[in-house]
Amino acid sequence: MKTSIQIEVRPTEIDVMGHVNNAKYLEYMEWSREDWYNRMELPFDVFTDMGVGTVTVNININYRKEALLGQKLTVSTEPLCKGRTSYVLKHEICNEEGELVADAEVTSVTIDLKKRKSVELPEKLAKAFT
């Protein structure tokens, strides 16, 4: 399932170049990713109750167009692919004109919270990729 959130660029997110600082795009994507988990009925406490955590292990991001102060952005998240212990979520950030501002593929791994070792994807998470 693809989900999306709406945000407005705030003054604290602008760098000396007058556009959104590169690190903020990752934060926007994280907010969208958390929304995706919640809509999939997999909020943080559900993972914790299973003794499982998710760890981001790789981010490949493309910065396509400047985002400026006050712009309204749509940040989307959708499942891309899964392995035995890892999975990839795709993010896109678009401006009000529908132009692609940034996109990324974020790879995460599920881990046993006590052993701190990777474990198979919980069934409920794996089903999100079918």
Residues marked active site are found at 15
DSSP bridge pairs for 117: none
pLDDT band at 130 (very low <50, low <70, confident <90, very high): confident
Q: Does domain 3-127 have CATH number 3.30.43.10?
A: no
Burial of 119 (0-12, 13-18, 19+ CB in 10 A): middle
* Torsion sign across C-alpha atoms 33, 38, 41, 42: positive
Q: Report pTM.
A: 0.94
Burial of 17 (0-12, 13-18, 19+ CB in 10 A): exposed
Residue 8's φ and ψ, nearest 5 degrees, are -120, 130
- pLDDT at 41 exceeding the cut of 90: yes
